[in-house]
């Protein structure tokens, strides 16, 4: 088994999940172990200044690994905000999600592009996390505008450890290595140059910083960027985010957030050397979209 395991490799850089660094973690068919991932000391030192506890993990497994993305599951198994009230595509959406994930293998990876749960805190989100954990594949989760349960990476990892959740990882000021690719991203933000407030500018600047940290972690690898907010929508362009992706050579960008009627204005396909995809669950029939 382990001879084929070396055909594919994911390096996972976590910069602030200290608990992961304390002991080996075991996934089916794969071994994870901590190592200091930044090859240049100065780069490592710089990252450590931003996020103490820089660590990385290898994830090794057999052939056939696929990378998927989906966003906006809007789970509500504990709270009373089921998307069923909207009807249409959302009718029976929990079963649709379960069916949609059924094609994934246990070691496939699915990036969840935000708006995972309606829960307002971690304890209220437990049922949603257990549901996601029960689905096939390993999930990399980034923050959406409705993820009020979001906390620090350390607190999230402690929560996962306490709850026995071991297929969910957080994308936040870090990146994950997938063969020659790096999985990068952040929530993003809508920012209109004409109507944006000072507060919007502040939030955008923070998101730009997080995205650049993630892209810098990727080093020389090809970069795929995952966002919650679309950097392009109809005639709108968040030029700062697009420019940052271009600067770091991002080839693909997946995003969520756009639902229902609004999807008619989504920007998809190639624009200035970046391939865009909207992967909000109701726009992809609740089935993770295969990327690689």
Residues at the site binding Fe ion, with contacts judged by CB under 5 A:
72, 115, 144-145, 257
Cα-flanking dihedrals φ and ψ of residue 29, to 5°?
A: 65, 15
Q: Which residues contact 1 (CB under 8 A, 6 or more apart)?
A: 29, 62
Beta pairing partners, 277? 254
Beginning with the edge strand found earlier in the chain, give each strand of the sheet holding 289-290 in spatial order.
168-170, 138-142, 109-113, 67-70, 289-290
Cβ of residue 226: shortest distance to Fe ion, in angstroms? 14
Residue 246 pairs in a beta bridge with none
Nearer to Fe ion, 178 or 191 (CB): 191
Please say which residue, 145 or 151, places its beta carbon nearer to Fe ion: 145
For Fe ion, the closer of residues 100 and 144 by Cβ is 144
Distance in Å, CB of 282 to Fe ion, minimum: 9
Nearer to Fe ion, 113 or 126 (CB): 113
- Residue 113: CB minimum distance to Fe ion, A: 9
CB of 72 to Fe ion, least distance (A): 4
Nearest CA among 248, 219, 249, 205 for reference residue 43: 219
Q: Give the nearer residue to Fe ion in terms of CB position, either 54 or 144.
A: 144
For residue 205, the minimal CB distance to Fe ion (Å) is 20
Query: Residue 69: phi, psi to the nearest 5?
Result: -145, 145
Helices (H), the chain: 2-5, 18-22, 41-50, 93-101, 126-134, 153-163, 198-217, 239-247
């Amino acid at each position: 088994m382990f001879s084929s395991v070396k055909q594919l490799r994911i390096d996972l850089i976590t910069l602030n999940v200290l608990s992961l660094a304390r002991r080996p973690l075991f996934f089916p068919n794969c071994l994870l172990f901590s190592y200091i991932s930044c090859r240049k000391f100065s780069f490592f030192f710089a990252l450590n200044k931003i996020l103490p506890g820089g660590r990385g993990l290898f994830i090794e497994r057999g052939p056939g690994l696929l990378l998927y993305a989906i966003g906006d599951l809007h789970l509500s198994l504990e709270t009373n905000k089921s998307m069923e009230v909207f009807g249409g595509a959302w009718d029976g959406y929990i079963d649709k999600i379960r069916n949609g994930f059924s094609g994934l293998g246990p070691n496939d990876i699915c990036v969840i592009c935000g708006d995972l749960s309606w829960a307002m805190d971690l304890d209220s989100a437990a049922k949603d996390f257990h549901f996601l954990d029960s689905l096939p594949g390993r999930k990399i989760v980034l923050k959406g505008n409705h993820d009020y349960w979001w906390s620090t990476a350390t607190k999230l990892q402690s929560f996962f450890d306490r709850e026995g959740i071991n297929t969910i990882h957080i994308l936040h000021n870090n990146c994950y290595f997938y063969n020659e690719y790096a999985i990068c991203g952040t929530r993003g933000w809508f920012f209109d140059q004409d109507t944006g407030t000072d507060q919007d500018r502040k939030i955008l600047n923070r998101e730009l910083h997080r995205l650049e940290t993630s892209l810098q972690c990727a080093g020389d690898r090809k970069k795929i960027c995952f966002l919650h907010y679309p950097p392009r929508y109809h005639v709108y362009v968040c030029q700062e985010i697009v420019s940052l992706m271009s600067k770091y050579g991002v080839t693909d960008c997946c995003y969520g957030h756009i639902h229902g009627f609004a999807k008619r204005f989504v920007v998809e396909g190639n624009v200035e050397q970046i391939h865009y995809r909207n992967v909000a669950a109701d726009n992809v029939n609740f089935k993770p979209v295969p990327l690689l």
